[in-house]
Chain A
């Protein structure tokens, strides 16, 4: 067990280092002169060669690739994300504030997705092939086909404009999280319903189940104690991927609903060529991925200890 934890951590380390290096390389080699862009963002019209050269030196772009990379990565190892190359303010407080908006949206979206998908899948699998089942699958397919930006606009139109029940733009009150979370959640629910449904149907094919029925175990207990855990394994795998899609979708949703989260933070930073901010978002996202995957690995091992053990 200790050995597998060490190997998991080692893998996480490699992923994070690779991501940091790849991002830095990409940004470094991106077309256009970053110093000019920064100077433009900072000083608007005062664009002399001197100013651009001064910016270049100040931001550390004149030192060459490796010194610049080192200048970024070494402080990062101790948790220092550096300073915005546009405003000169530290990146970290802004980043924290952005995350504090994004996390609730993400979790609310996931919660809505799961609380819709699980009951829907269970109802659908009660009579596989029935009209109810086919209806649920159709709804789920439709939901998966609708892009988040369109669904978001639809929801704004209905709940904010027509009915005026919910606020749409910004993040002033807790109620502001509802529509973005709903947009995310409906997408998640659509994908998960089909996966949970097929997970349950597949779990019901396990060869040992008839023996439990002959032993007198009730259908209810059979479902809870034996079908559910087997159905959960593929669902957990997909849940990890689903969280990744969620992060992707959140950028779109935050822009649509003008929420000041990680997505808006990233879009603004890219627009302003604010390298330290962009890099910070990428590193944080990669870290999040690694943590999610670690958590999924651990949950796997709890449900099915055959995974990752050699004596299986």
Chain B
């Protein structure tokens, strides 16, 4: 079922940081929210998650950094149980192990607190936690910025496999068009709190219309090699 939200907006101390924006997400869609820092893409991500939660849709959010997702005073096991309880689910150790294996963090010690894990493992723990309730939409804000490139790439591959089997839609929020182009089929380009482009990825890459999209496309990769 396609999820639709309309009129998402936000303001901070009287200044509009997100103009009214509509969004629809098909099952299994791969959407990239791209734009420069301060363009309102994280704000749109938060508004989207909150609006979908209000519709009782199954949606999960992965913030930019594990510091924004984990309580340093609480153990990893506590976080996991709490997330299960919040969804009204009983504790399921097998499901947990399956998710951990999918994200290659099964060696992590659950008795430890977040800072007892490396940042890369914390971030993947947060992603695993987002998958507990088998959401219909997974919104990820710069999921790879806390990870080393090799781990980041591996995580994206594992996640893509996991999501595509379950027809889970993914909204990838990033400043990096190169990353987005690799993983999404539809690009939404934001500029100063406004949605300036919403088209299939290939179309945007081949013929960007807006100034921002053009700049993003010019600076897409560091280097392009012949195939």
Contacts and interface: CB of A to CB of B under 8 A. Distances in A.
B74 A225 contact: yes
A208 B61 contact: no
> Chain A interface secondary structure, helix, strand, loop or mixed?
loop
B113 A215 contact: no
Nearest to A221: B82
Interface stretch (B11-19, B62-70, B142-150, B198-206): B62-70
A71 interface: no
Given A208-B71, A304-B73, A214 B115 contact: no
Interface string A195-218: 000000000001110111011111
Contact of A214 (B61, B78, B82): B61
Given A226-B74, A305-B113, A211 B69 contact: yes
B129 A214 contact: no
Contacts of B63: 211
B131 to A, nearest CB: 12
B49 interface: yes
Given A304-B73, A306-B115, A208 B53 contact: no
A207 B68 contact: yes
Nearest to A218: B86
B70 A208 contact: yes
A312 interface: yes
A306 B82 contact: no
B72 interface: yes
B83 interface: yes
Interface residues of B, number: 25
Interface in B52-101: 53, 60-61, 63, 67-74, 78, 82-83, 85-87
A221 B71 CA distance: 13
B67 A217 contact: no
Interface string A211-233: 11011111001000110011000
B68 A215 contact: no
Contacts of A96: none
Contacts of B61: 211, 214-215
Contacts of B82: 212, 215, 217, 221, 225
Contacts of B106: none
B113 A216 contact: no
Given A211-B68, A215-B86, A218-B86, A303 B115 contact: no
Contacts of B197: none
Given A208-B67, A230-B73, A306-B115, 14 more contacts: A207-B67, A210-B68, A211-B61, A214-B49, A214-B53, A216-B83, A216-B86, A217-B83, A218-B86, A225-B78, A230-B71, A304-B72, A305-B113, A306-B113
